[in-house]
Amino acid sequence: MFIKIFFSNIIFSLFLYQLTLTSPSSISSALRYYKLVAEFVFFGYQHFFLCNSSDLLDNCNGNILRAVRNSAWMTCSSRTRKDLCFLVRRVQRPNHLRFYQGAVLSRDYFRRVFRVSYGFVNFLRFKDNRRSK
């Protein structure tokens, strides 16, 4: 998972850099430019879908916890109550997707990746503009 997320972040930045430097007139064919744009959109959607799924997974955890708390679990048998205690203990913790025991995938993480990528692109464009002067 770490390798996938790490390279996804790098590829996202490089796609964004390539899109900001090129225009339809500078590429040999317009079809090639639109292919690049489509790949960026689909890759960005895939990355957003993974981060959004992590948030949905955590929301479902909260829904399960509320459902168990609002049920009449006190009237169940002792074995069922014991099993419900294990379930409640499990769903009380956050259930976001994580990679490398550090970063937690979420919509906020996607926003931060986009901001860092945009900052990286601006840095490279600034550096390129200073070199050309």
DSSP characters over 57-111: HHHHHHHHHHHHHHS-GGGS-HHHHHHHHHHHHHHTS----EETTTEE-SHHHHH
Share of the chain above pLDDT 70, in %: 92
State residue 32's pLDDT score.
80
The number of distinct structural domains making up the chain is: 1
Instruction: List the structure tokens of 46.
Output: 């895939």
Average pLDDT of span 39-51 = 89
- Residue 11 pLDDT greater than 80, yes or no: yes
For the whole model, what pTM was predicted? 0.73
pLDDT digits (tens, 9 = 90+) for 103-133: 788 899 889 988 988 888 888 888 877 777 6
CA distances from 104 to 7, 58, 94, 101, 114 (A): 16, 11, 10, 8, 15
DSSP letter at 133 equals: -
Q: Which residue has the higher pLDDT, 83 or 24?
A: 83
Q: Specify whether the CB–CB gap between 7 and 109 falls below 8 A.
A: no
Average pLDDT of span 39-62 = 90
Quote the mean pLDDT of the chain.
Answer: 84
State residue 24's pLDDT score.
66
Rg of the chain in Å (alpha carbons) = 22
Q: Which domain holds residue 63?
A: 2-132
Straight-line distance from the first to the last Cα atom of the chain, in angstroms, rounded to the nearest whole number = 43
